Structure 1
């Protein structure tokens, strides 16, 4: 026996402790075979996939009917859903007033006009719609606010 055995054991114990402390993804690899060679190739972590979420707002200016859709996976479906909800609320001539994707929407009603805005931040969407209303109208009230953020899978 030589005097290096205790140091070799300490190094081995240290190495196993170090490996055990690594996160699981540090060991992610794909075995590659070919031309008489095989080995482990590091597999990078995948970025999360983002799925868009849409929203839409529809109104009937003639009678004030309102319909909205949020967190819908497709633009066309959000539009269709908002118009249907507007018609379900006794709307006859429902029109899309706002379409938004991966952000927030706000609708503000004044004494004579309606104002719509979208923004990634809910508070900014609301404050911008309120400001626009107050610049052109009176008695401004927030009547709708929703967010349709993208989802990861």
Structure 2
């Protein structure tokens, strides 16, 4: 028989808003993003090595913003003869978008679940800055 820890009057357990813990959701999303990214990069490297016998490759996306890189990567995977490089770049793009998705989730959480307008405004500002930076070359 385990003894329950003593609680002082007025002490309550923190109950997450909406029945979920945002830190767990965000941590899981970040982990999934990193795993998908790693999987794509490893798949692309293995594919490139199997088709060319080399682990070196040229990175053709200098001077492009992230959305251009994603569009070019998809075109490369669909149309190009060296699709493995497109898969690698998609993996790197997923890795770069993973923290962005975390900020989007935080804005949604602060606005709708927590209704904390100060943190919503701050996080929305961070989201705007990140969004603009993704479009800058």
More contact order relative to length (CA 8 Å, sep ≥ 6): 2
Asked if these proteins are the same fold (TM beyond 0.5), I'd say no
TM-score, normalisation: structure 2: 0.25
Larger Rg: 1
| The structure with more helix, counted as a fraction of residues | 2
